[in-house]
Amino acid sequence: MGPSYQYAGLQNVRQVGLTVGECASRLHHLAYAEERLMFLQTAHLVPVPQWDLKKLLGRFQFEDAQHSNELKERLPQLRFSKKKAYEPPDSPLNLVFDEALHSANMVELLAGLTRVFKPALVAAYQKYLADTNGLVDYPSVRAIKQIITEEEEALQLLTQVYDDIANTPEKKAEADAWAEMLGDMLAAAGGIDGTGEQNPAALKRVRSTTTYTIPKHVARDDTFPRVWDYIHYENERVAERLAEMVATRLSEMTAVEGLAFVLYETKDQPWSFYMDISRHLWDELRHSMFGEVAVEDIFGDRSAMPLRECDATYIIELPVKDWYVALGIGVEAALMKYPPGKRDEYEFCRDMAQYPLMANFQDFDWADEVLHVQIARRQLKDWFEGTQQELIDLAQKGVDDRVEIRNRQPASTLPNVSHILGQANKA
């Protein structure tokens, strides 16, 4: 053998490796598993009360959607039907994930993720790299190497949460029983990549005899205090307006939860729909963390600012499609106008509050919202069956409903942030 760089640094070049058909079969199963993990984590984001776990689930549903998409796009390059690439494989793997959806609590959810699905994925990807010829199958190898990096980080972070939550003998026993059942089912289904032998006799629905639905209740732990709404101030009240803007970003977790309903409960849409909503969900979660980081930067304590409760009622009371129309067309599209809008928020933080960190957050928030309006218009073109005027009317009704809900209880003042003003001059 020559030097390690002889074949452009590629591995297993003299190994016969997997055939095109074998590569396609494994990737099809893995793409489906990643897709189902996107739905699993999204479905449990709303009922999970732990703030930090919500954020992890929101991040990893997005990453798993990206993984699935990369593999699906690879499949037609392997003489695999493009249509079938976006359909489930001929496998009982669906039953295993249907059961996982019915995880009764956080302990079971995390046991399934950290002790069954994520380890199985990492092992299957590593086995794929070992079995395939790295020269002939390089496009798959490159994608899988990146996927492994993200899946290993996901497993590490989720395991830390699992260790914190499964902290009693009773919880550990509960986790053991659930993980063992899911693990046995996954093995009986032929494994997560479809390379094992199937055992149909061991595959019976236990909890998934009924369809899982997201509970119509937004769960919260005690990380943050809560108020019904914030008093709105104009830009001239610089400290009060900055506090309102930071708190509003923090409370975008409710938009995340609303989008979780949209993604999970909207059935029979093209894969591009779920990719778009997955991205939108993750962006709104990033925006919530913009607020969280700013609060910690201002006060040294992320819990110094309260969450807004009224929007949690809003996402529960409105039908899923109506809420999404109100968000994408009634709220986000309106924020493209200047002034006020997203550009105005950015310029306020940059020029009036002179708070560089929040100005950068608002700059990226503005960029993301431009994308979200494009997504809403693109998806509602097919999803919404009425006329353009009916769409506009429904969006306005959603905005009016939100105002009515916000007015049900008095709004609150927020902590004083005046000490942070003018940071740019102090730098």
User: Tens digit of pLDDT for each residue in 166-214?
Assistant: 999 999 999 999 999 999 999 999 999 999 999 999 999 999 999 999 9
Q: What pLDDT sits at residue 427?
A: 42
Q: For the chain, what percent of residues have pLDDT higher than 90? A: 97
Chain segment 4-35, per-residue pLDDT in tens: 899 999 999 999 999 999 999 999 999 999 99
Residue 315 host element (H or E):
helix 310-317
Give yes or no for a contact between 24 and 80, defined as CB atoms under 8 angstroms apart.
yes
Domains along the sequence of the chain with CATH: 20-202 (1.20.1260.10), 226-426 (1.20.910)
Q: What pLDDT sits at residue 1?
A: 63
Chain segment 260-314, per-residue pLDDT in tens: 999 999 999 999 999 999 999 999 999 999 999 999 999 999 999 999 999 999 9
Q: What is the Cα–Cα distance from 356 to 354, expressed in whole angstroms?
A: 6
Q: What is the Cα–Cα distance from 290 to 245, expressed in whole angstroms?
A: 10
Length in residues, the chain: 427
Label residue 424 by pLDDT band (50, 70, 90): low
Q: What pLDDT sits at residue 112?
A: 98
Chain segment 235-255, per-residue pLDDT in tens: 999 999 999 999 999 999 999
Instruction: State the pTM of this model.
Output: 0.96
Q: What pLDDT sits at residue 2?
A: 78
Show the DSSP H helices in 191-301 as ranges: 238-250, 253-265, 271-299
Facing residues of 227 across strands? 308
pLDDT at residue 425 is higher than 70: no
Lowest-pLDDT range of 101-105, 241-245, 350-354, 419-423: 419-423
Q: What is the Cα–Cα distance from 50 to 52, expressed in whole angstroms?
A: 6
Label residue 383 by pLDDT band (50, 70, 90): very high
Show the DSSP H helices in 44-195 as ranges: 51-74, 82-85, 93-101, 106-112, 118-131, 138-165, 169-188
Chain segment 211-228, per-residue pLDDT in tens: 999 999 999 999 999 999
Label residue 3 by pLDDT band (50, 70, 90): confident
Please compute, for residue 300, the number of CA atoms within 13 A of its CA located in the half-sphere on the CB side: 1
Cα–Cα distances in angstroms (integers) from residue 284 to residues 252, 255, 272, 372, in the given order: 6, 7, 18, 10
pLDDT at residue 96 is higher than 50: yes
Amino acid in the structure at residue 279: R
